Structure 1
Amino acid sequence: MVVRSINTDGGISGVHVVAMPYPGQGHINPMMNLCKRLASFGDLLITFVVTEEWLSFILSSAGSATPPSNLRLRSLPNVIPSERARADDFPAFVEAVYTKMEEPFERLLDQLEPAVSAIVADSYLPWAVAVGNRRDIPVASLWPMAASVFSMLYHSDVVAEHHPFPIPISEVGKEYVDYIPGVPRIRLADLPTMFHSSTAVDLMRWIKESFKMVPKATWLLLNSCEELEASAVDAIRSLLPSRVHPIRPFTLPPSPSQEKAGFVASYRAEVDCSAWLDGRPPNSVLYVSLGSFMSVSAPQVVEIAFGLRASGCPFLWIAREQDWLAKEDFDGKGLVVPWCRQMNVLSHPSVGGFFTHCGWNSTTEGISAGVPFLTFPIAADQTCNSKMIVEDWKIGLRVRGSNMGSCDDELVGREKIAEMVREVMDLDRKSSKEMRRRGRELREALNRAGQRGGSSDVSFDWFLNQVKAKRRAADLRLPV
């Protein structure tokens, strides 16, 4: 096993927290931002653990940036398939994560000094809770998605009592579900695709293993806040009394400048788009990004390209592995790049809208920027995030997922895309004005939650104080 570190312990003593994220970009970055926040309290030592492959990605993306002196990186062997091929056989990747990482993680714990005070592990790594319990180390289970999605998956058996599982996509139709605790009325089609995808049985089996271990963790940290999902947070608290802590979307750094100097996980070279954005009027540019993992079909990429061109709106498009798009000039109005620092772009004054796959990190970052959304969910939790954006918060429009049936089967034409882009980006339209007004209100509520004395700040302090107390896990754990 290779063990590497960016920096030494720097003489730090006291509480030692080990962080173990799920090996995917949408999971590693929220965990890293949480750890940077923990490390801002100088009397904590944070050991951040990733695979050798992900360590190389983080080091290459960091450039000359260095982490806080009390945050160090360690690695596990590459016992799982490469991130670059993760989407090729996702069920096999998930199985490897669940079955092959526990043993090398436990061997690493044996080598770490000082003694580990607490573990923070992604909720999709149930074996980390088991390791902590065996060693009498308290474990914080970090849920990386929306609180509403937690409730949907936690109560999957309740859904199965009403509908066959997996739910045949031909039977989804427009039927609504109103019995999931903390979740407003939602269409079957808007539930996470794990409920009705072709790989649902295999994936849900592993997901259920994760949820069996969540109650055995000392704490549950939610990557959300009461201001976004009050009913879902309350429902989860009723399941796990006194142990649930919504700690603001900690995917969000305190400021774009601090994010630029920090660590992010990505294996794609980033392009600095600030000069191009600087030359555009305020709120004029549509930012288009469909995530780091799943892809849309080639015909759909073509329809998006022609739709954006026809809209007449300036746009910045993050198009992975689509070299032909970068060669198009789009009448001088479009810039296509393979990757960028998303929060920097969303925070730029020229950006006035977000065409997104609705991953939870992207959703919270868009809310933090206060921009309206065009939702284009692809898979997993993105369908229900899209529903919340459009129906619950009313800060966006659906581009995809508005019809019954699978997202995979829905080809959205260029005419519809062009019209919806114009509707969101036309600052004089009543609908656009209303979405922007509500977006500003939600952004302000999110910021208040993270400010000193806000709901999430208080929750974070409570968790931090318990970790610092270094009490035994048995003394902290409450009966479920």
Structure 2
Amino acid sequence: MAAREKKGPHAILIAYPLQGHLIPSVHLAINLASRGFTITFVNTYSIHHQTTKAINGNCSGEDIFAAARESGLDIRYDTVSDGLPVELDRSLNHDEFMSGLVDLMPAHVEKLVAKIMQQSSPPVTCLVVDTFFVWGSPIAKKFGLLCVSFWTEPALVYTLYYHMDLLKKNGHFACQDNRKDPIDYIPGVKTIEPKDLTSYLQDDDANTWLHQLIFAAFNDVRGADFVLCNTVQELEPQVIEALQSYKPFYAIGPIFPRGFTNNATVATSLWSESDCTQWLNSKPHGSVLYASFGSYAHITKTALWEIANGLLLSNVSFVWVLRPDIVSSNDVDPLPVGFKEAVRGRGMIIHWCSQTQVLTHPAIGGFLTHCGWNSILESIWCEVPLLCFPLLTDQFTNRKLVVDDWKIGINLIDNQMVVTKEEVLKNVNRFMDEKIRNQLKATMGGIKKKLEYALGPGGSCEKNMECFVKELNAKSNIIASVSTD
């Protein structure tokens, strides 16, 4: 029993209830647990129901970390209400969902944290919360815990939000007529075009509830003791160095599961996965375009039809992930009439899949993506070039990194405001041309080496994680000694 009391830190980790945030949160939990942490991982009721239903066909699953715990990791599992009924369609009621996370969820979290602290051994050390939760710091301080803010997007996106005041002051954001000239005053960022800011920072009106959420989140993060970022120091060195002048900011990415594709032990999919392996096995090496617009962003039916018709005209083989609510939960079959029949044998259309499993298949030659950060990191690791079609939030900034800075992808649409089947046809064919893809893959190989180095012995991921754990323990010991005086 005495040995157990000497165990490492105990972290309560609360995952933001969107799949793009859930996946790296799960991997972070496993990473920390493998370093001797006790982790109490918290999902919302609604996410728990979705993930267990997706894997079991029902909602009876009790603990998504059961298999991980059998491997020797001390990961406990709990659930909390986000303040809304589980059966509410959060995709159709997006504003209500987001406002609930701000106004209703904190009271439930406080109650759960109090319960965990009373019942758990070893004692809880810190609270790890997604940066977009606006209440992390005050709840942590109420219970005498250290607050660790977890940022799941690039450091470039973080620093743009962190410096919203500078963007406002210089007239590039939240003005009646935002300036359109390049931005060259953000610390650690050489220059960035206004069109490459996140979608919310391109708005003239910053009085929406969503902008208020972002303002509150980046006010709250100033009270955090540490920031962990799922990025790679070798990819964003200047930005990260500038951010480290404000508070301990650790680039600990890429946060991948062991073996990369070995993520089946923890349920993170919100929909049942289709297996594309047999179909892909029938296709030539590098001939298939994988298309997915992620787990959250929506697309208009008009744009979807233009992309569909462009793919139809291209004669390129493709796997297209179209989740059930890609346009709306009320429109479960949004494709053009006759499209599925017209591409039969050449195109496979599914609701969801294991993306890492598809990307590692040799038949995949490219990825038509919304530029979600998880998708970009996974594509780099698999050396699959990117055809970029950003839809929302950080995806516009991520596109800049992929196309303009790292040169590992091209744009689907040159003018991101207008989608036409002709331009889709032109750029799909250009992208899938063997010569173009080989050029992109050659560049991507150099970027992948940076990820491999970061994850290897002595790499930045390992060094930064060790530094974080050391600093966390040191600060915890100081707090403990003060509280016992």
What TM-score range do you get, normalising by the shorter chain? 0.7 to 0.9
Output the amino acid matched with 1:383.
Answer: F
Which residue in the other structure is 1:254 paired with? 258
Distance of aligned partners of 1:172 and 1:375 in 2 relative to their CA distance in 1, 3 Å threshold = farther
Q: CA deviation at 1:317?
A: 0.3
Does the Cα contact within 8 Å between 1:316 and 1:336 map onto a contact in 2? yes
Distance of aligned partners of 1:222 and 1:473 in 2 relative to their CA distance in 1, 3 Å threshold = farther
**2:76 aligns with one of 67, 72, 75:** 72
Which residue in the other structure is 2:393 paired with? 380
| Separation in 2, partners of 1:78, 1:23 | 9
| Between 124-133 and 148-157, the greater mean CA deviation after superposition | 124-133
Which residue in the other structure is 1:8 paired with? none
**2:333 aligns with one of 289, 302, 323:** 323
The superposition leaves residues 207-247 of structure 1 with CA deviations (integer Å, 9 ceiling, x where unpaired) of 1222222232121101101122112111211222xx11100
| Separation in 1, partners of 2:452, 2:375 | 16
Output the amino acid matched with 1:210.
Answer: A
| Separation in 2, partners of 1:256, 1:460 | 18
Output the amino acid matched with 1:368.
Answer: W
Which residue in the other structure is 1:414 paired with? 421
**1:471 aligns with one of 467, 476, 479:** 476
The 5 A counterparts of 1:117-136 are: 117-136=125-144
Which residue in the other structure is 1:361 paired with? 374
Output the amino acid matched with 2:67.
Answer: P
Does the Cα contact within 8 Å between 2:45 and 2:86 map onto a contact in 1? no
The 5 A counterparts of 1:416-435 are: 416-427=423-434, 429=435, 431-435=436-440
Q: CA deviation at 1:166?
A: 2.6
Distance of aligned partners of 1:342 and 1:119 in 2 relative to their CA distance in 1, 3 Å threshold = same
Q: CA deviation at 1:365?
A: 1.4
Which residue in the other structure is 1:352 paired with? 365
| Between 278-287 and 146-155, the greater mean CA deviation after superposition | 278-287
Does the Cα contact within 8 Å between 1:24 and 1:83 map onto a contact in 2? no
**TM-score scaled by structure 1?**
0.87
Pair 1:27 & 2:21 matched: yes
Distance of aligned partners of 1:450 and 1:28 in 2 relative to their CA distance in 1, 3 Å threshold = same
Q: CA RMSD, aligned part only? A: 2.6
Does the Cα contact within 8 Å between 2:271 and 2:352 map onto a contact in 1? yes
Distance of aligned partners of 1:12 and 1:440 in 2 relative to their CA distance in 1, 3 Å threshold = farther
Does the Cα contact within 8 Å between 1:137 and 1:472 map onto a contact in 2? no
| Separation in 2, partners of 1:90, 1:12 | 44
Does the Cα contact within 8 Å between 1:375 and 1:399 map onto a contact in 2? yes
| Separation in 2, partners of 1:91, 1:362 | 25
Does the Cα contact within 8 Å between 1:145 and 1:360 map onto a contact in 2? yes
Which residue in the other structure is 1:398 paired with? 411
Does the Cα contact within 8 Å between 1:176 and 1:187 map onto a contact in 2? yes
Does the Cα contact within 8 Å between 1:307 and 1:415 map onto a contact in 2? yes
| Separation in 2, partners of 1:386, 1:293 | 17
Output the amino acid matched with 1:423.
Answer: R
Q: CA deviation at 1:13?
A: 7.4
Distance of aligned partners of 1:184 and 1:340 in 2 relative to their CA distance in 1, 3 Å threshold = farther
Output the amino acid matched with 1:438.
Answer: T
Give the share of equivalent positions with the same residue, in percent.
Answer: 31
**2:42 aligns with one of 32, 45, 49:** 49
| Separation in 2, partners of 1:473, 1:281 | 60
The superposition leaves residues 153-184 of structure 1 with CA deviations (integer Å, 9 ceiling, x where unpaired) of 1111111112264356x8665x3222222224
Aligned partner of residue 255 in structure 1, secondary structure: coil
Q: CA deviation at 1:194?
A: 0.8
Distance of aligned partners of 1:205 and 1:257 in 2 relative to their CA distance in 1, 3 Å threshold = closer
The superposition leaves residues 341-388 of structure 1 with CA deviations (integer Å, 9 ceiling, x where unpaired) of 111111111111110001111121112211111110111111111111
Does the Cα contact within 8 Å between 1:12 and 1:45 map onto a contact in 2? no
Distance of aligned partners of 1:44 and 1:454 in 2 relative to their CA distance in 1, 3 Å threshold = same
| Separation in 2, partners of 1:78, 1:138 | 23
Output the amino acid matched with 1:90.
Answer: H
The 5 A counterparts of 1:162-311 are: 162-163=170-171, 165-167=173-175, 175-197=181-203, 200-202=206-208, 203-240=210-247, 243-250=248-255, 252-259=256-263, 261-311=264-314
Distance of aligned partners of 1:475 and 1:415 in 2 relative to their CA distance in 1, 3 Å threshold = farther
Which aligned segments of 4 or more residues in structure 1 are displaced greater than 6 angstroms?
none
Q: CA deviation at 1:284?
A: 1.4
| Separation in 2, partners of 1:227, 1:375 | 23
Does the Cα contact within 8 Å between 1:58 and 1:263 map onto a contact in 2? no
| Separation in 1, partners of 2:425, 2:21 | 33
Pair 1:99 & 2:72 matched: no
The superposition leaves residues 179-213 of structure 1 with CA deviations (integer Å, 9 ceiling, x where unpaired) of 22222422212211112348742222221222222
Does the Cα contact within 8 Å between 1:352 and 1:425 map onto a contact in 2? yes
Which residue in the other structure is 2:329 paired with? none
The superposition leaves residues 405-431 of structure 1 with CA deviations (integer Å, 9 ceiling, x where unpaired) of xx5xx231112112211222111x2x4
Does the Cα contact within 8 Å between 2:188 and 2:238 map onto a contact in 1? yes
Does the Cα contact within 8 Å between 2:137 and 2:223 map onto a contact in 1? yes
Which residue in the other structure is 2:33 paired with? 39
Output the amino acid matched with 2:183.
Answer: V
Distance of aligned partners of 1:419 and 1:35 in 2 relative to their CA distance in 1, 3 Å threshold = same
| Separation in 2, partners of 1:83, 1:183 | 44
Output the amino acid matched with 1:311.
Answer: S
Distance of aligned partners of 1:438 and 1:136 in 2 relative to their CA distance in 1, 3 Å threshold = same
Q: How many residues align?
A: 452
Does the Cα contact within 8 Å between 1:225 and 1:246 map onto a contact in 2? yes
| Separation in 1, partners of 2:24, 2:43 | 13
Does the Cα contact within 8 Å between 1:318 and 1:340 map onto a contact in 2? yes
Aligned partner of residue 265 in structure 1, secondary structure: coil
Distance of aligned partners of 1:332 and 1:293 in 2 relative to their CA distance in 1, 3 Å threshold = same
Output the amino acid matched with 1:100.
Answer: L
Gaps of 5+ in 1: 1-10
| Separation in 2, partners of 1:53, 1:474 | 35
Pair 1:458 & 2:471 matched: no
| Separation in 1, partners of 2:48, 2:472 | 26
Does the Cα contact within 8 Å between 1:61 and 1:265 map onto a contact in 2? no
Which residue in the other structure is 2:451 paired with? 446
